[in-house]
């Protein structure tokens, strides 16, 4: 009957699980094999590695919490709104600040674990609008990375903490949660970092053109579009 139809949204698009799919198929396999969303990875299949993390909400538009997609069957996702790494940001629509920060801080090597880390951080950010660097660090007990040694990953995310050193700080978690950069360009969503530390660039093609911005204290700031140029201005490489 119509009541038996399994439906959920993935990255804003409604999906009806076909009768060819058993309701005990795990969400990770459904995403990868039926929806072709292979940014979500898997390894342990028992909730221990975090490679499969996506975020999900039971109410339209969030808040989203992290979910290990290897642990939930499609049968338990009825009515959910699910977000995968592809929905958070992608090459075509623009990358999310979390994706950019991880890439630009060398927090990704083979990349296999990266989507899980980013989605776990996305879930954390949705639950906690402000966090300290220590809270960010302690939020990750179940993501494994075999390559990076963890430090660069945590450094990339700790830059969003409220107590991050000013020269490191990218954007507060609160503003990050407002940031809709996957649409490309500054989202103008009411974030008060926009004039100052917004790392949004108008495209992802490597353009380095600067934009003149008058800061709140009257100083003129030439905002480079690429974060690495910010680091150069700060005297870092
Ligand atoms: Fe899901 Fe490891 S595959 S936590
Ligand atoms: Fe290779 Fe994390 S970058 S597993």
The domain defined by 97-197 carries CATH number 1.10.490.10 = no
State yes or no: 49 annotated in a binding site: yes
In 29-96, beta strands by DSSP E: 53-57, 65-68, 81-83
Cα of 161 from ligand 2 centre, angstroms: 23
The verdict on whether residue 147 carries a ligand-binding annotation is yes
* Residue-level pLDDT at 62: 80
Q: What is the pLDDT of residue 145?
A: 94
Task: Tell me the CA distances in angstroms from 84 to 28, 40, 124, one per residue in order.
Answer: 10, 7, 15
Ligand 1 centroid–CA 50 distance in Å is 5
Read off the pTM: 0.75
* 148 in contact with ligand 2, CB cutoff 6 A: yes
Nearest bound ligand to the CA of residue 47:
1
**Residues carrying CATH 1.10.150.120, the chain:** 97-197
Burial class, 43, CB count within 10 angstroms (exposed 0-12 / middle 13-18 / buried 19+): middle
Helices 151-158 and 114-127 cross at an angle (nearest 10°) of 30
Q: What string of pLDDT tens digits covers the 237 residues of the chain?
A: 445 789 999 999 999 998 889 989 999 999 999 999 999 999 999 999 999 999 999 988 788 999 999 999 999 999 999 999 999 998 888 888 899 899 988 899 999 999 999 999 999 988 887 899 999 999 998 899 999 989 999 999 998 888 887 766 666 666 666 666 544 456 666 666 554 445 443 333 333 344 455 555 555 544 443 444 444 444 443
Is the distance from CB of 199 to CB of 193 less than 8 angstroms?
no
Dist. CA 191 → ligand 2 center (Å): 32
Pocket test for ligand 1, best of 32, 40, 46, 123 (most atoms within 8 A of CB): 46
Whether the CB of 149 sits within 6 Å of ligand 2: no
pLDDT of residue 98: 92
Intervals of CATH 3.10.20.30 along the chain: 2-84
- Select from 48, 138, 61, 153 the least CA-distant residue to 98: 153
CATH number of 2-84: 3.10.20.30
Structure tokens at 162: 């409220």
Instruction: Please choose, from the candidates 58, 77, 63, 70, the residue with its C-alpha nearest in 3D space to the C-alpha of residue 15.
Output: 77
Q: CA 50 to CA 30: how far, in whole Å?
A: 17
């Amino acid at each position: 009957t119509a009541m038996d139809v399994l439906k959920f949204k993935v990255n804003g698009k409604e999906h009806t699980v076909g009768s060819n799919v058993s309701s005990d198929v795990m969400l990770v396999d459904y995403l990868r094999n039926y929806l072709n969303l292979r940014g979500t990875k898997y390894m342990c299949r028992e909730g221990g590695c975090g490679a499969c993390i996506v975020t999900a909400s039971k109410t339209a538009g969030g808040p989203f919490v992290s979910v290990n997609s290897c642990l939930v069957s499609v049968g338990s996702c009825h009515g959910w709104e699910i977000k995968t790494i592809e929905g958070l940001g992608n090459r075509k629509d623009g990358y999310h600040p979390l994706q950019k920060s991880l890439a630009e801080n060398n927090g990704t090597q083979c990349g296999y674990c990266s989507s899980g880390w980013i989605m776990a951080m996305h879930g954390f950010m949705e639950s906690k609008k402000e966090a300290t660097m220590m809270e960010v660090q302690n939020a990750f007990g179940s993501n494994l990375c075999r390559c990076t040694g963890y430090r660069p990953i945590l450094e990339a995310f700790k830059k969003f903490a409220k107590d991050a050193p000013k020269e490191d700080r990218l954007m507060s978690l609160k503003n990050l949660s407002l940031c809709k950069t996957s649409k490309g360009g500054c989202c103008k969503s009411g974030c008060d970092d926009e004039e100052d530390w917004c790392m949004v660039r108008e495209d992802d093609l490597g353009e380095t053109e600067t934009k003149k911005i008058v800061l709140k204290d009257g100083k003129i700031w030439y905002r480079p579009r690429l974060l690495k140029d910010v680091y150069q201005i700060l005297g870092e490489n």
